[in-house]
């Protein structure tokens, strides 16, 4: 179904006519859980084909499955072709340098290894046969070597030793572990003594990987970084002789340091990694060689221990080591970036006023020019004069689009996943709006209608508050906090990019630090009031507030500081007691930056906006949700919230997932989460 994304006012004005031909239903929880997810496009070297991933969901097996697909771009009407069929997932595609095969990761042999699929015919063949799982990899530009990362015990002399020790740990009847430094646990995993170490191995004439040599094992750190680092954090030089990667030295300070540096090492090993960015005590990452190999581009922050500082691009002359800040004058934070094939520019994504756009950045001047329109560009790939990007918006999951570099033309849509399965779904219409927020600053937000609207009727409101706190609820598609699920259940939604949000300049992002309960709360109040005044079909008297992480913190803060604002509240993994958070969260740099230092040095900074001090004013019914494997905001925070509610006789429920982390990822758990949340809203807003 082709979506017509009208403005909200136009949608309501046309309601009497449009609804006579409308689709018969809204998006359901089950629709969201079972949608195919398109991602990770990679163009062939000659730009004639693109391979990408599609994740499907098996509700019976309660898991997702990812496989590789390909589109021949030379066809008059390009048709997606499935490349892999195994029960195990196939991920992380990489082209061979001559484009005759695709390399990928799969556990189809029982462990995660690198495989090679020839496109001229034949079955996929295993390239690596290692005793440990390969977590991520890259193929050298010459096709003669692999770089890959594995979790090993760094004091082991070989991979067999790491395998043996891991097996012995698993069999040991004594489960206690002794630690002498942080991290003890990180994100959702307890430390077991292993590091992610970067290796390389030659690709022999028979297509198999040869002996693996350690490239980063001498460093006390993880390559790539944990918990979310991938092969974007290491790259080959164009001649294949050098690899650059980023790493943070752990020592005793890892839990409160953001000092990642760029290292260079011979791809074949034999030398110690050389630190290229020791002059910057803040974060340096994702270094990439220019096509001619003469320049190294990387993203860098300027302020140590601040994870939400602006990433700007730096160019380094490989021969001399001289560095030049390229995007200092551009007040946006770079996310993903790659050199253009001609080396004259770089393409980069960045949050930008409620969108996540793709930009072209001139390598000489640093001037940034937007290439994509409204929506969220989640990935992109280039070869020769062709660009393929994955782009989503508030009414569509990511699809692939093709563009010609340097040509101003509408992108060509390549994929249409889910459109047939959801042909009878009508999506909520959405519109961005702005208002005067705290300090008189312009603040932006979005409003979305229910899937079916009638002129003159008011609709209950789900008021969504994003996490981060340095994040954004913008024009994107989510499989966790998706306004279309609320639209499908008959709710209007409002979501505000309050002070602290990304995409509005670094000063705006900075403004939330040391002010968690100040300007952001004022923005939320003013934003909801502005939306209700501008869109009279919003039933402000029937509204519930919902949020996770920092949004969950804000739910607790609202309970005590806007206690008459809502009929109900949903608090997912939210901070209840900032002192407890300071001493139990894993990434300590976060709390110390946000609250002005460590708790023992600056208790006042931590206590200023601490929800625990306002519990006596609580009165709004609250649903509390917690993943027990969430080590970012530990379970004690949710239990304390629920205890405070129950002890005061406030209507409340607690939903705990023993096997989930900061997010709810398993399909059955996601469905339960959504139905529980919507049931809570129904109970309080549809009486």
Predicted confidence (pLDDT) per residue in 321-357, tens digit: 999 999 999 999 999 999 999 999 999 999 999 999 9
Beta-carbon contacts of residue 507 (< 8 Å; ≥ 6 apart): none
Q: State the Cα–Cα distance between residues 488 and 33, nearest whole angstrom.
A: 14
pLDDT the model gives residue 409: 82
Residues in the chain: 687
Residue 270 has pLDDT above 80, yes or no: yes
pLDDT the model gives residue 23: 57
8 A C-beta contact, residue 63 and residue 37 = no
CA distances from 413 to 73, 103, 391, 399, 674 (A): 11, 25, 10, 7, 31
- What percent of the chain clears pLDDT 70, i.e. is strictly above it? 97
Query: Which secondary-structure segment (H or E) carries 162?
Result: helix 159-171
Residues of the domain holding 546 = 430-686
* Cα dihedral across residues 617, 620, 621, 622: positive or negative: negative
3-class secondary structure, 580: helix
Span 51-61, average pLDDT: 97
Which residues partner with 136 through β-bridges?
149
Beta strands in 25-62 (DSSP E): 37-43, 49-58
Q: Classify residue 476: in a domain, yes or no.
A: yes
CA distances from 630 to 176, 177, 581, 659 (A): 20, 19, 12, 9
Q: Classify residue 414: in a domain, yes or no.
A: no
The rounded mean pLDDT for the chain is 95
Total domain count, the chain: 1
pLDDT tens-digit series, residues 425-441? 999 999 999 999 999 99
Counting DSSP H helices and E strands in the chain, the numbers are 13, 38
Beta-carbon contacts of residue 178 (< 8 Å; ≥ 6 apart): none
Residue from 453, 438, 543, 586 nearest 500 by CA? 438
3-class secondary structure, 517: coil
pLDDT tens-digit series, residues 441-487? 999 999 999 999 999 999 999 999 999 999 999 999 999 999 999 99
Q: State the Cα–Cα distance between residues 466 and 456, nearest whole angstrom.
A: 30
Residue 14 has pLDDT above 70, yes or no: no
Beta-carbon contacts of residue 623 (< 8 Å; ≥ 6 apart): 568, 569, 570, 571, 652, 653, 654, 655, 676, 677, 680
Residue 8 has pLDDT above 80, yes or no: no
Burial class, 650, CB count within 10 angstroms (exposed 0-12 / middle 13-18 / buried 19+): middle
8 A C-beta contact, residue 474 and residue 354 = yes
Span 290-313, average pLDDT: 98
Q: Classify residue 388: in a domain, yes or no.
A: no
Inter-residue long-range contacts of 287-290, CB under 8 Å, 24+ positions, other chains counted:
287/235, 287/244, 287/245, 287/246, 287/262, 288/235, 288/244, 288/337, 288/338, 288/339, 289/235, 289/236, 289/237, 289/238, 289/244, 289/318, 289/339, 290/339, 290/343, 290/363
Q: Classify residue 634: in a domain, yes or no.
A: yes
Q: Classify residue 624: in a domain, yes or no.
A: yes
Residue 17 has pLDDT above 60, yes or no: no
Q: Classify residue 626: in a domain, yes or no.
A: yes
Q: Classify residue 104: in a domain, yes or no.
A: no
Q: State the Cα–Cα distance between residues 225 and 312, nearest whole angstrom.
A: 19
Residue from 156, 96, 107 nearest 134 by CA? 107
Q: Classify residue 148: in a domain, yes or no.
A: no
Residue 374 has pLDDT above 80, yes or no: yes
Inter-residue long-range contacts of 236-239, CB under 8 Å, 24+ positions, other chains counted:
236/138, 236/140, 236/141, 236/145, 236/147, 236/267, 236/289, 237/141, 237/267, 237/289, 237/293, 238/141, 238/289, 238/291, 238/292, 238/293, 239/141, 239/142, 239/293
pLDDT tens-digit series, residues 176-211? 999 999 999 999 999 999 999 999 999 999 999 999
Span 133-158, average pLDDT: 98
* Cα dihedral across residues 532, 535, 540, 545: positive or negative: negative
8 A C-beta contact, residue 638 and residue 574 = yes
Span 278-282, average pLDDT: 98
* CATH code of the domain in which 563 resides: 3.40.50.1820
8 A C-beta contact, residue 427 and residue 451 = yes
């Amino acid at each position: 179904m082709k979506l017509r994304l009208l403005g909200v006012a136009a949608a309501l004005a046309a309601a009497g006519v449009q609804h006579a031909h409308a689709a018969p239903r809204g998006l359901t929880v089950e629709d969201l859980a079972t949608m195919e997810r398109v991602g990770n496009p990679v163009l062939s070297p000659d730009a004639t084909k693109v391979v990408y991933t599609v994740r499907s969901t098996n509700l019976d097996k309660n898991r997702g499955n990812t496989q590789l697909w390909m589109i021949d771009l030379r066809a008059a009407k390009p048709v997606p072709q499935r490349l892999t069929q195994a029960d195990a997932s196939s991920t992380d595609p990489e082209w061979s340098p001559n484009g005759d095969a695709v390399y990928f990761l799969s556990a189809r042999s029982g462990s995660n290894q690198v495989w090679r699929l020839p496109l001229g015919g034949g079955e996929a063949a295993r390239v690596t046969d290692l005793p440990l799982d390969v977590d991520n990899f890259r193929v050298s530009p010459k096709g003669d070597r692999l770089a890959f990362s594995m979790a090993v015990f760094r004091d082991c002399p070989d991979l067999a030793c790491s395998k043996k020790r891991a097996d012995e740990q698993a069999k040991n009847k004594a489960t206690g572990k002794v630690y002498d430094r942080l991290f003890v646990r990180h994100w959702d995993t307890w430390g077991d003594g292993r590091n992610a170490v970067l290796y390389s191995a030659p690709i022999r004439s028979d297509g198999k990987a040869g002996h693996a040599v350690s490239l980063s094992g001498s460093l006390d750190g993880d390559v790539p970084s944990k918990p979310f680092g991938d092969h974007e954090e290491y790259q080959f030089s164009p001649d294949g002789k050098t690899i650059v990667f980023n790493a943070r030295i752990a020592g005793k300070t890892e839990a409160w340091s953001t000092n990642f540096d760029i290292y260079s090492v011979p791809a074949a090993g034999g030398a110690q990694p050389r630190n290229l960015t020791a002059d910057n005590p803040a974060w340096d990452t994702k270094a990439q060689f220019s096509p001619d190999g003469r320049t190294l581009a990387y993203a860098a922050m300027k302020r140590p221990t601040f994870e939400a500082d602006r990433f700007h691009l730096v160019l380094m002359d490989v021969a001399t080591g001289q560095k030049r800040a390229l995007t200092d004058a551009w007040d946006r934070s770079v996310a993903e970036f790659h050199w253009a094939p001609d080396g004259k520019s770089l393409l980069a994504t960045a949050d930008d006023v409620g969108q996540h756009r793709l930009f072209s950045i001139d390598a000489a001047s640093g001037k940034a020019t937007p290439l994509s329109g409204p929506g969220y560009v989640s990935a992109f790939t280039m070869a020769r004069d062709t660009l393929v990007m994955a782009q989503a918006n508030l009414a569509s999951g990511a699809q692939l689009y093709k563009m010609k570099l340097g040509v101003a033309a509408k992108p060509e849509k390549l994929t249409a996943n889910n459109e047939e399965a959801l042909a009878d779904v009508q999506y909520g219409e959405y519109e961005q709006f702005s208002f005067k927020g705290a300090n008189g600053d312009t603040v932006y937000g979005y409003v979305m209608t229910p899937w079916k609207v009638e002129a003159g009727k008011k609709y209950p409101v789900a008021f969504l508050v994003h996490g981060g706190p340095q994040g954004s609820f913008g024009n994107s598609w989510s499989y966790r906090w998706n306004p279309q699920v609320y639209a499908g259940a008959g709710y209007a939604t409002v979501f505000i990019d309050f002070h602290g949000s990304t995409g509005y300049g670094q000063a705006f992002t900075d403004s939330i630090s040391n002010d968690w309960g100040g300007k952001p709360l004022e923005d939320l109040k003013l934003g909801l009031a502005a939306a209700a005044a501008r869109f009279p079909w919003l039933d402000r008297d029937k509204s519930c507030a919902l949020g996770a992480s920092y949004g969950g913190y804000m739910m607790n803060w609202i309970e005590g500081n806007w206690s008459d604002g809502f009929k109900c509240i949903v608090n997912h993994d939210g901070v209840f007691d900032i002192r407890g958070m300071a001493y139990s969260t894993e990434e300590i740099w976060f709390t110390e930056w946000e609250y002005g230092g460590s708790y023992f040095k600056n208790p006042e900074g931590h206590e200023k906006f601490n929800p625990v001090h306002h519990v006596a004013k609580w009165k709004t019914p609250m649903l509390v949700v917690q993943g027990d494997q969430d080590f970012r905001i530990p379970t004690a925070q949710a239990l304390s919230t629920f205890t405070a509610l129950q002890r005061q006789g406030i209507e409340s429920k607690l939903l705990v997932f023993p096997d989930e982390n900061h997010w709810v990822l398993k399909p059955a758990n996601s469905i339960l989460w959504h139905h529980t949340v919507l049931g809570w809203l129904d109970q309080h807003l549809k009486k």
